[in-house]
Structure 1
């Protein structure tokens, strides 16, 4: 089969790889569509550690073409989606039902080979069947949806809450839709790109602000809340400035969710606000426990995904796909790769 190998930072090769034999609990999936997310780009740049000559990609869908003798939950020709990572089943966290905290997780596209190939081998317990009327572009989004659902759960969002989202990227726009579905009363999005803010408006944002064009945006939005602040602020840009703005914008007793991925240190964290406002700053990682709900939302056509995919490539153009995502060319929001072009 053909697979895309990361030789070194920003150097991808397409090579022929011989598939190994399946173990008893493993499934061979013919990969259809793979989404390229920020984590993939970080590995591509060399910012995240990964095993040598790794096959990138962890958000995908496909069709089962073979299964080991112990497999019982999926069958050949099933249309499936997959978790992006899973636990070792040996450490303290896995043994206590908390694989999200696993000390040695199996991570597609990082610690083990991922999905940017014509085929992928995974354990059956990380696969979920999905209706065939869900398009491949929609199905590849299941990881992003599950991750957003977990973050939303950790936010404690209640019916009628008002929400401020910072960062109208692909994940932020999925989160926007989930907040609306969850019954949030007033959901706004702030960012720096008009094209993405327009997408937020089209997806139902009650208000949007380009913070590059409004130096008083925090003051103006606080006035919108009667100077009380927002019940929930979700930082989806992965920036320190986004976290600090969220802390200033959240109401007393409210919750700030660090949804965007970042490994930066936060200088100037206003500790007094945690005391005087009794706010909560919540972290979140991955979509463990929320994949079935993500599948259900896609099958019920509750989310708009197709319009979030701005660029599409065949596997043969994988280098171009990563270049566009890495350098944010051509107003890219999300690129996907089709791994079997027949």
Structure 2
């Protein structure tokens, strides 16, 4: 099979790999589409650690090709979405009801240190595949995993109905946050510094989302809650929220640090929250909500797997392409001609 493999910082390539073997509790999935995530981009830019030689990708949908002898919940031919956040159910965090913080993740993070889904096939333990509802096309289903991330972080924000919410960063996660918030009826503003992403967000998002340049958002009044999808601005954002407000740090950058004004944090009653990975319940809810939310509206490109390099350039995901800026929102890599461009 063909697979997109992380070779080194700034470098990935198409490699020939054997179709992976599977055991009694595994499912072999013919991958139909994989979304390119900010984590994939960060790996290639050297901002997120990953094992060299790993197959990239973790936001995937496809069809079951074969199952192990002990698998009962799915069968060949079933359309499925993959939950790539594995947990063991045996370590202390898992036993305390915190499987998202499983202590046995080493070697099990899909697309990071365990082979991912930018390939023709992927092997997944049975309990991490979910049937994709018939009304959810692959193009939409590929956004279930990032939707689960968003749901987890919005839950951590503890939003009230009258909150004014500022989402910082108009990449796919920021746009998805804004889409979900608007669907819930929240008063939401999306702020972005990059002119290319700003233009794309204005074209793709519903009118209920106010999309502003960063300087315009700063002058628009204090929000009650901020969702920072960049992972680089929490120190700056603490001073922008109202008293009793919340800043959720959603973006992850390995080298990012922030200076936190502790006196303001305490005297103004500000909450600074890191929600971490989503729980299994968030993923299951994301599958359900995908029946209603038009997630595919954020997909700007569907490219065959072999055109991965073009996709990475569109997302400024290599050092050489970064100065060019962004020219896409969500890109899907596909091995299935049935995933419409």
TM-score (norm 1): 0.88
Alpha-carbon separation, structure 1, partners of 2:229 and 2:189: 13
1:335 corresponds to 2:325: no
Once the two structures are superposed, the pairs formed by residues 226-305 of structure 1 within 5 Å of their partners are: 229-240=222-233, 243-288=234-279, 289-299=281-291, 301=292, 303-305=293-295
Alpha carbons 2:173, 2:229 under 8 Å: kept: yes
Q: Which residue of 1 aligns with 2:167?
A: 165
Structure 1 residue 95, shift from structure 2 partner: 2.6
Q: Which residue of 1 aligns with 2:212?
A: 209
Deviations 1:282-305 (A, max 9, x none): 012222221111111111x2x232
Q: Which residue of 2 aligns with 1:191?
A: 192
Tell me the SS of whatever aligns to 2:170. coil
Alpha carbons 1:234, 1:246 under 8 Å: kept: no
Unaligned runs of 5+ in 1: 223-228
Q: Provide the aligned C-alpha RMSD in A.
A: 2.0
CA 166–74 in structure 1, closer or farther in 2 if over 3 Å, else same: same
Structure 1 residue 335, shift from structure 2 partner: 1.5
Question: Of the candidates 143, 146, 168, which is equivalent to residue 145 of structure 2?
Answer: 143
Alpha carbons 1:254, 1:279 under 8 Å: kept: yes
Tell me the SS of whatever aligns to 2:239. helix
Deviations 1:241-294 (A, max 9, x none): xx2343122111121111122334544321111111111000122222211111
Deviations 1:191-218 (A, max 9, x none): 123304414753521x332125x4xx53
Structure 1 residue 180, shift from structure 2 partner: 2.4
CA 236–266 in structure 1, closer or farther in 2 if over 3 Å, else same: same
Number of aligned positions between the proteins: 326
CA 198–127 in structure 1, closer or farther in 2 if over 3 Å, else same: same
Alpha-carbon separation, structure 2, partners of 1:93 and 1:159: 32
Tell me the SS of whatever aligns to 1:13. strand
Deviations 1:92-142 (A, max 9, x none): 212323121122312111110000110100001011111233121111101
CA 263–254 in structure 1, closer or farther in 2 if over 3 Å, else same: same
Deviations 1:40-85 (A, max 9, x none): 1122233322223110000010001110011111111111101122
After the TM superposition, which of the residue ranges 70-79 and 26-35 deviates more from structure 2? 70-79
CA 268–337 in structure 1, closer or farther in 2 if over 3 Å, else same: same
Alpha-carbon separation, structure 2, partners of 1:108 and 1:165: 27
